[in-house]
Amino acid sequence: MPALGCCVDASVSPPLGYAFSWDSSLPAPELFSSGVPPATNAAAVTTGSHWSTDLSSALYRVDGWGAPYFSVNSSGDISVRPHGTDTLPHQEIDLLKVVKKASDPKNLGGLGLQMPLVVRFPDVLKNRLETLQSAFDMAVNSQGYEAHYQGVYPVKCNQDRFVVEDIVKFGSPYRFGLEAGSKPELLLAMNCLSKGSADALLVCNGFKDIEYISLALVARKLLLNTVIVLEQEEELDLVIDISRKMAVRPVIGLRAKLRTKHSGHFGSTSGEKGKFGLTTTQILRVVKKLDESGMLDCLQLLHFHIGSQIPTTELLADGVGEATQIYSELVRLGAGMKFIDIGGGLGIDYDGSKSSNSDVSVGYGIEEYASAVVQAVLYVCDRKGVKHPVICSESGRAIVSHHSILIFEAVSASTTHVSTQPSSGGLQSLVETLNEDARADYRNLSAAAVRGEYDTCLLYSDQLKQRCVEQFKDGSLDIEQLAAVDSICDCVSKAIGVADPVRTYHVNLSVFTSIPDFWGFSQLFPIVPIHRLDEKPTMRGILSDLTCDSDGKVDKFIGGESSLPLHEIGSNAGGDGGRYYLGMFLGGAYEEALGGLHNLFGGPSVVRVLQSDSPHSFAVTRSVPGPSCADVLRAMQFEPELMFETLKHRAEEFLEQGEGEDKGLAFASLTSSLAQSFHNMPYLVSSSSCCFTAEATASASANANNGGYYYYSEDNAADCATEEDEIWSY
């Protein structure tokens, strides 16, 4: 522990502890006689001289939440295993190399994309889908189930075109379909499934009006396997009426409002008071009306949803069993039932704890989930003598969460400064300016320090600081004197060991835009440095974003931690030029769709990365810069071109008032910089890239050296979007 004082009376020598910097009229107290104060979390992180990548993996729980896709490699970087457990050693992808390829300038062989960055791995997406299908196939075969499983991806989880198209392509051999909950989602699902399996389901959920139902029936006319799921009883009249007018025989499903409910955050959509679904009474009325209309055979699917992140297979089996009872009753009543859609709920383990008592973990794996579902349906159907239905699920979170990683940079961190102590003379002068109550607090603090009473020291330190703040407010204490008092009180806190060891790391990110679930309801995601994991993290920190809101921070982490072990920023031990990259994992579901335009920061840049046989195991097949300032301004109904013209005219007007022969050059330079500002991303850039300090240019860089791991094939060349926008004329 460092000494607290620098002005101790030379005649008093504290033999075992440390002394405050008191004025000469007061005794120089011995503060601690029993050694160092209790270790903080930061100290616990840094104990021991040895460090390894295995220790980092354990510290950040990578083997828990990351298996089988993420690990720490021998270089201390996060490694991606794109094919899960089937990934061969030479196929592993070093995430830092992907980030460097994306962010390095074009003249150095990079793509010149700005942070933050979303990295998508379609191979992971494919592996997730195949794993889910394989788990159900195994459960069906092992239990003698006489129907099959075919999944449905709810596009609300991530509506990105390439994500949806990949799922349709990868899922085509398995009859994998799509679920839509709005008219735009239905349109994109119709488009994508036109290239998918003819047997793939197009499940239409959500509230419906005449346009929605008409569009769904158009999809039916286009020979898409469309099912209109009744969420509200009144939707049935519209379906019957419009289908007759369009001469289309619909396939109808209904959503049952089950009694089964789980109590976690994600269970609010289930139970008798859930937002969606029909009660048993309403179900009977629907059956009766369909029978009277000669359309009871159109009722073919039962849907239910007891909430996302179902914590246990016991709760899952309970809900599936209840729903299968309803399914069996519908068969008995004469409906043409074929499908049971168990909805979403297949959870993922965000914190690696395998806990069934947490909203961020689940106590089972995909194989156990599939087995529980098949067994529950099988048991009820066999008991009721009902033909086994096709089992569907809408497991969006479990399919897309792992394939997308958000990368962002910590650009600075608050530092713990060593307070400068005033000299003995300066301290004496300070004490003389204090009022009587403050002087009494000072004497009591000194006496408590002599006795080694830590709590009492803190009490009088706080009181002293508060009284001095009051003196400052009434003008009897100047700012230098107040700062000196703050220094004394800070020394007390540090010596006793209660000073906050947690730093604030400022990250080039908007929490509201890129991690809205954390801001909205404290959903936790694994956040880990993607490199330097062969070094000991010597700090603990919270993450503060660029927005002006106090909620724009991440101060809760997996494992119940309120801070994250981190490294010093600026160290070039990892050979990364002092840049410090963090990754948020398992955020491929919902975060991008929910993100808004808070502070007009907009979304991140995106790269799409496939595993390849190139020297570095990957190929970037698509890159898209994040929205520019002009893009986000347009979203708020501004017209960037007109804004630029206004500013250009103003520049022309005021530069005309100047003198000298360089007015034309100055005008051209200023307007060029203004134009470039509209085209730049809203996030932070390095000073060398700033358009007001560097020469603005609109031309693309020369062709970059590929470096052996980046290529565009003929198939994907049209997808690439790396050319710079044309700069407005000036």
- Give the whole-angstrom CA distance, residue 73 versus residue 353: 22
218 phi-psi bin (left φ>0, alpha ψ -120 to 50, beta other): alpha
- Give the whole-angstrom CA distance, residue 587 versus residue 348: 11
3-state secondary structure of 86: helix
The neighbour count for residue 625, using CB atoms within 10 Å, is 21
Name which of 475, 484, 480, 472 is nearest 442 in CA terms. Answer: 484
Pick the catalytic residue from 548, 690, 691, 720: 548
The one-letter amino acid at 20:
F
Alpha carbons within 13 A on the beta-carbon side of 336: 12
- Give the whole-angstrom CA distance, residue 170 versus residue 128: 10
The neighbour count for residue 64, using CB atoms within 10 Å, is 19
The neighbouring-strand residues paired with 120 are 404, 608
List, in order, residues 6 or more apart from 20 with CB less than 8 Å away. Answer: 4, 5, 28, 29, 31, 445, 446, 449, 488, 491, 492, 495
The neighbour count for residue 428, using CB atoms within 10 Å, is 16
Q: Hey, what are 600's tokens?
A: 């007009």
Burial class (CB in 10 A: 0-12, 13-18, 19+), 265: middle
Residue with tokens 């409906």: 335
3-state secondary structure of 154: strand
Name which of 443, 448, 449 is nearest 31 in CA terms. Answer: 449
The neighbouring-strand residues paired with 90 are none
Query: What is the DSSP secondary structure assignment for residue 694, as one 8-state letter?
Result: S
- Give the whole-angstrom CA distance, residue 340 versus residue 147: 11
- Give the whole-angstrom CA distance, residue 225 versus residue 78: 42
Task: Go through 6-28 and write b for each residue having 16 or more CB atoms within 10 A of its CB, e for each that does not.
Answer: ebbbeeeebeebbbbbbbeebeb
Annotated active-site residue 489? The verdict is no
Alpha carbons within 13 A on the beta-carbon side of 376: 23
The angle at the Cα of 365, spanning 360 to 366, to the nearest 5 degrees, equals 115
3-state secondary structure of 225: strand
Query: What is the DSSP secondary structure assignment for residue 310, as one 8-state letter?
Result: -
Q: Hey, what are 287's tokens?
A: 């059956």
Name which of 121, 524, 517 is nearest 352 in CA terms. Answer: 524
Name which of 373, 363, 377 is nearest 394 in CA terms. Answer: 373
DSSP string for residues in 613-678: SSTTSEEEEEEEPPPPHHHHHHHTT--HHHHHHHHHHHHHHHHHTS-STTHHHHHHHHHHHHHHHH
- Give the catalytic positions in this structure: 548
